[in-house]
Amino acid sequence: MPTILVVDDSAVDRRLAGGLLARDADLAIRYAANGLEALDRMEEERPDLVLTDLVMPEMDGLELVGAVHHRYPGVPVILMTSQGSEEIAARALEQGAASYVPKRMLSRTLRATVQRVLAISGKKRARLLECMVSNQAAFLLANDGALIASLVAYLQDSLAQMGLCDESECMRTGVALEEALVNAMLHGNLEVSSGLRGESDEQYYALIARRSAESPYRDRRIRVDARFERHQAVFVVRDEGPGFNPLALPDPHDPVALERPAGRGILLMRAFMDEVHYNQIGNEVTLVKRRQAAKRPGE
């Protein structure tokens, strides 16, 4: 039976929302009076969904959304909003809230919204995803750092959904993917040498800014193909630059190279992925992440 944690500093509003949800016999309702108390409750018993007011003492709804997203990424949060707080609700959605329900429409929309969010998250979704045998996605990105960050988050979610790795390994894989994408953008498409980074930061960033705005560099794209299977995920990142020789990178064990920042990205890629291969001209890299073996108790 799914558990819903209702968080509101008003006892009347808590009971109102909880009472509406309790009409569904298959929901268990828990309560907390503010964000801090909610987090304490979640340590004792993890709910399947959090329904929270926005304005509360100690920790408000927006902060609670962030905290739950960080500590319990699989638990969706729905906000109850008062009139005039739509802008804050939009920010909360950007920070990871699953949905919001205006308080004046609680009786009409709350139950349906909760059921919808439960259906696409939590245990029901986990059961469905256990049935997935493969998943593919392809992206064509402009040279935009914000897109890279969003794509890495998406790919990490997909890894987690396929059960290929735990949270820790997902973070490591995210680091490797980010390095591959940033390399494709800066060194591939924009042809900004990492060697310049060690000589003059000012010139390095000035060149990035200049080439991001001029042809042909700004018109180049990064192609990302991701294939998720039961036993592994394969990512292919291709830029439209002239390529490079990965064997020509400085030896990280060379004391001189130690004092330069160049080449660290590929070190991280090789450390965090099971396989890393470049094509002949060096503008395409294939990264493979294999399913993590299940840890024994105590590990």
Partner 1 sequence: MSAPKVFRAERDGPTLVVTPLGSVSSLDAGTLQPEIDALLREIAADDLRSVVFDLAEVNYFGSLMLSAIHSVWKRLRPAQGKMAQGKMALCNVSDLGRDILRIARFDLLWPVYPSRQEAVDAVRPP
Contacting positions for partner 1 (CB under 8 A): 144-146, 148-150, 152, 168, 171-172, 174-175, 178-179, 181-182, 197, 201-202, 205-206, 208-209, 212, 252-253, 258-259, 261, 264-265, 267-268, 271
**SS3 of 50, please?**
strand
φ, ψ of residue 4 in degrees (nearest 5): -110, 130
CB of 151 to partner 1, least distance (A): 10
CB of 191 to partner 1, least distance (A): 14
What whole-number distance in Å separates Cα of residue 50 and Cα of residue 6? Answer: 6
What whole-number distance in Å separates Cα of residue 178 and Cα of residue 155? Answer: 10
Considering the complex, state which of residue 18 and residue 188 has its C-beta at the smaller distance from partner 1. Answer: 188
Residues 6+ apart with CB under 8 A from 294: none
Considering the complex, state which of residue 223 and residue 260 has its C-beta at the smaller distance from partner 1. Answer: 260
CB of 55 to partner 1, least distance (A): 23
CB of 222 within 8 A of CB of 238? Answer: yes
Considering the complex, state which of residue 116 and residue 218 has its C-beta at the smaller distance from partner 1. Answer: 218
Give the torsion through C-alpha atoms of 109, 93, 67, 289, to 10 deg. 120
CB of 265 to partner 1, least distance (A): 4
**SS3 of 144, please?**
coil
Considering the complex, state which of residue 150 and residue 279 has its C-beta at the smaller distance from partner 1. Answer: 150
Considering the complex, state which of residue 162 and residue 181 has its C-beta at the smaller distance from partner 1. Answer: 181
